[in-house]
Amino acid sequence: MKLQQLRYLVEVSRCGLNVSEAAEVLYTSQPGVSKQIKLLEDELGVIVFERSGKRLTAITEPGKRVLEIAERILQEADNIKRVGEEYAGGDSGSLVLATTHTQARYALPFVVRNFIERHPKVRLSMHQGSPTQIAEWTLKGEADIAIATEALDQYPQLVMLPCYQWGHSVIAPLGHPLLAERSISLTTLARWPLITYDPAFTGRSLINKAFERAQLTPNVVLAAIDSDVIKTYVNLGLGLGIIASMAFDPERDLGLQAIDVGHLFGSNTTRIGLRRGTYIRQYEYDFIELFASQLSKKAVDRAMAGLGVDDEYQL
């Protein structure tokens, strides 16, 4: 039995039993993947994948058990490498972040700067994508730390660490009639064309739920994943924008004015996601604490051990 055979099993499962796609991900040939899986099945004496001709059609019951154990073995093999890298590499290494544009643009710059000053020999890279992509990258080991607001809590394989809470603001061009309103309600907003986030991003689910509870249908004329794109189209007069409050800077966003509407949509919680069972290197602990000061090494270890985060570490 070889680790490579276990990698083939797991990747074929992740790719929906598509051997060609798994071979592409693994940078090898389809016949090579099929041959190694068959050799492993012969050695184990059980069929992992049901077949129809040359196609894999399902995972057998014993195959499900084999895959569960294979995933654990591969994760522990990765943990051994991480231990070796940490102790052999001294203060060097690599750290891959997976996050959304809003976090990368507005929440992370000073954290990244401080981290690089503290760990100049650590190679830091950042993948930006949707919350679902972020979670998948982290689960596959392609990213070390996931940072997002939406979707991460839908993945039980990730340990969730609450970092901070934030709300939304409405932005409008200077002189817009809305800015003269004494108070803003959902009914008021529903009268105007709106520009806000794509449904998978940056607290959009809370925006949708607020309008649904009020039995109102918002006139969303444009949805984007990028706060800067939303502000651009608001400046063009296409509608009012609803963005994360952290994404508005009065000195930079000239020609626009923001009104806090957190009372309409509630608060959002940005979380860090870590793959369960992963060995965490010291500089990863440092990055997490730089991003959320309440998340000390002790708090992270408790969460990774399944003990939850104590009240003293909560938001």
Return the DSSP state at 253: S
- Chain centroid to CA 163: 13
Number of neighbours of residue 152 by Cβ within 10 angstroms: 23
- Tell the residue number behind the tokens 């529903």, with chain if given: 190
Cα separations in angstroms, 138 against 68, 272, 309: 17, 11, 21
Tens-digit pLDDT profile for residues 28-55: 999 999 999 999 999 999 999 999 988 8
Cβ atoms 41, 8 nearer than 8 A: no
Give the predicted TM-score (pTM) of the model.
Answer: 0.77
Q: Which residues of the chain have pLDDT under 50?
A: 310-315
Query: 56 φ, ψ to 5°?
Result: -85, 130
Give the pLDDT score at 89. Answer: 67
Tens-digit pLDDT profile for residues 98-121: 999 999 999 999 999 999 999 999
Cβ atoms 17, 56 nearer than 8 A: yes
Give the pLDDT score at 315. Answer: 46
